[in-house]
Structure 1
Amino acid sequence: MTGEAVARTAVLVAAIRADESRRDRPLFEDPFAARLAGEAGRKMLARMVAEAGERSTAQIVVRTRFWDEALLRATQTVRQVVILAAGLDARAYRLAWPPGTTVIEVDQPAVIAAKDGVLAGEQPRCHRVSLGADLAGDWSAALTDAGLDPSAPTAWLIEGLLQYLDGDAVHRLFARVHALSAPGSVLLYDVVSAALLTAPEMTGLLASMEAQGSPWLFGIDAPGELAESLGWTATVTDVAEPGAAFGRWPDAATGGGFFVEAHKGPNGQR
């Protein structure tokens, strides 16, 4: 997946969040999303819905609300947050973070620069640190140089990223997170099932993503194992469960994707 394709994906997600924020009863309100998406994002969203249908946006909407709640829950006990592949996410500006929270956003330098430019003059609701780094490389030193304290618990969010990586890259990413996490850390991530990558109903969406240079490469049917294999304790939620609870899932079928909340216990190995 090229850097340009990553940037386009971030713009598309911002457009979906902007569209949700305009609903009468939105699952969340993101007053920055429309600016971040721009006209390019609106056109991308219209094209994706035309090709793949309205359901193609449901998982992004549901996961945004789900991770909003999970992050605020995690920061009741953890004061540093790292959002990997943060894209055009505006949580640092829109969530009611507890006092003393630091949020470090990591993404490609061009994506970080674009977001910083659009939101210049806005006041984040936490201590925000933006870090331009290539997540395909070794970004650990850059993150600690940016202020991460590996001796203190961290809440990590990996949102909407794993399906774009190959299996080796996924496992390297988790190993780096694990090495930087003190006991008491929380790891939040979403991932699609392996079965979803070949499901007939996904043909339109998968073709659309591949055409824009961001094909889906990775899925797993036992998503908790990504963290559990490193000694974390994981709770797995099928995306359809909160989707139905929020009244925003189109049918009773499983969602084909998972949300995982993992905790590193007091005896976790660094």
Structure 2
Amino acid sequence: MKPASFSLPLVQEEEDPVADDLDAEWMGFVTPYLRGVESARNDRIVDDPFAEPLTRKQQPKIQTFVNEGLRKLYLYPENAIALRTRYLDEALHHRNPRILQIVILGAGLDARAYRLGSLRGCHVLEVDQSSAMFEHKASVMKELHAPLVAQNVDCIVSDLAKAGLEANLMGHGFNPTMPTFWAMEGLIACMNRPSIVKLLKTIDYLSAPGSEFWADMPGQTFVDEQEWGGTCNEASLKTAGEHFGRHWTPILTPQTIQAAPVYFVVGKKPIPDAVVVQKMCPGLDFED
């Protein structure tokens, strides 16, 4: 495991479209660790009972990383992860209930298939470039005898910056004629623009009408190397306020002291009128 240091590359070069594998894997442990911190609060807005067990063996290193790195940039990084997690949980809960195909891109140690009642009856496809993360999660869930809430889960090892996502999904039962909910939590900040555009085009191509999409998008100040000195931070919200009963204070950039925003984006692929009239979209029942 990478030593505890706050040195994730902020701006990726063209030949390196996704964060270094070790950095990505390391942050893959930090995110569920912070979910565990949030879940232990009496006033928690996210309850993930699997977050702490999934990171238990790495907690000393993660705590050092958080306290000596993240907290120097923002005192309560768990708030950023809690709000991001809750907004995606809410989007899944409020999606069209006919959508039973869920794709989580950059899944890592995501445990939603084990904890969200809104995924009951769903086929969840988790995609990540690290087979080690999936193996670790499977081992921990087996030790916990954790039952699936989703109908079934497929863990797919795939580099999202390269070709092959379509074939990998199709090889694990993905049905492009059915509407899909696509989740990209904490992923866009780790990719450069050309890779993001290619990935979004693939998602659009694979999405049946009525499909939905969720992503968090950090503002420009989060990718300003002069602001952060070549390091990056978790995405945040730009203005102070209340979210799910939790007060939020924005993260300020260290040089120009300006709020660093992030946007939680929810989208839906339109259903053409002709499709509605002719009822030609498998998986959805429309009224004339």
Regarding TM over 0.5, the answer is yes
Q: Given that residues 186 and 264 in structure 1 are in contact (C-alpha distance below 8 angstroms), is that contact kept between their aligned partners in structure 2? A: yes
Distance 2:125 2:70 in 1: 32
Asked if 1:116 is matched to 2:138, the reply is: yes
Distance 1:249 1:81 in 2: 29
Go from structure 1 to structure 2 and tell me whether the alpha carbon gap of 1:8 and 1:251 turns closer, same or farther (over 3 Å shift). closer
1:86 to 95, 99, 107: 107
The residue identity in structure 2 corresponding to 1:8 is W
Q: CA deviation at 1:98?
A: 5.0
Asked if 1:150 is matched to 2:151, the reply is: no
Paired residues, number = 241
Between 1:122-131 and 1:17-26, the stretch displaced more is: 122-131
Query: What TM-score, normalized to structure 2?
Result: 0.75
Asked if 1:207 is matched to 2:231, the reply is: yes
Q: Once the two structures are superposed, what CA deviation does each residue of 1:139-190 show, in whole Å capped at 9, x if it has no partner?
A: 2101111111000000000010111111101101101111110000001111
Go from structure 1 to structure 2 and tell me whether the alpha carbon gap of 1:57 and 1:12 turns closer, same or farther (over 3 Å shift). same
Distance 1:254 1:110 in 2: 36
Distance 2:27 2:42 in 1: 26
Q: Given that residues 239 and 250 in structure 2 are in contact (C-alpha distance below 8 angstroms), is that contact kept between their aligned partners in structure 1? A: no
Please list, as runs of the form range in 1=range in 2, the aligned pairs for 1:1-270 lying within 5 A after superposition: 1-38=19-56, 39=59, 40-74=61-95, 76-108=97-129, 109-120=131-142, 121-126=145-150, 127-138=152-163, 139-198=165-224, 203=228, 207=231, 239-240=237-238, 244-246=242-244, 247-250=246-249, 256-267=261-272
Distance 2:119 2:67 in 1: 37
Distance 1:155 1:70 in 2: 9
Q: Given that residues 140 and 180 in structure 1 are in contact (C-alpha distance below 8 angstroms), is that contact kept between their aligned partners in structure 2? A: yes
Distance 2:188 2:261 in 1: 14
Q: Once the two structures are superposed, what CA deviation does each residue of 1:38-58 show, in whole Å capped at 9, x if it has no partner?
A: 223333322334432324343
Q: Given that residues 189 and 259 in structure 1 are in contact (C-alpha distance below 8 angstroms), is that contact kept between their aligned partners in structure 2? A: yes
The residue identity in structure 2 corresponding to 1:125 is V
Distance 1:123 1:266 in 2: 35
Which segments of 5 or more consecutive residues in structure 2 lack a partner in the other structure? 1-18, 252-257, 274-288
Go from structure 1 to structure 2 and tell me whether the alpha carbon gap of 1:98 and 1:55 turns closer, same or farther (over 3 Å shift). closer
Distance 1:241 1:186 in 2: 26
Distance 2:185 2:53 in 1: 21
Could you tell me which residue of structure 1 aligns to residue 11 of structure 2? none
Q: Once the two structures are superposed, what CA deviation does each residue of 1:229-267 show, in whole Å capped at 9, x if it has no partner?
A: xxxxxxxxx945796233230159965100000000113
Q: Given that residues 76 and 98 in structure 1 are in contact (C-alpha distance below 8 angstroms), is that contact kept between their aligned partners in structure 2? A: no
Runs of 4+ in 1 over 4 A off after TM superposition: 240-243, 251-255
Identity of aligned residues (%): 28
Q: CA deviation at 1:59?
A: 2.1
Question: Rg bigger for which structure?
Answer: 2
Give the structure with the higher percent helix: 1
The residue identity in structure 2 corresponding to 1:68 is D
Which segments of 5 or more consecutive residues in structure 1 lack a partner in the other structure? 210-215, 220-237
After superposition, the CA RMSD in angstroms is 2.7
Could you tell me which residue of structure 2 aligns to residue 223 of structure 1? none
Q: CA deviation at 1:208?
A: 6.0
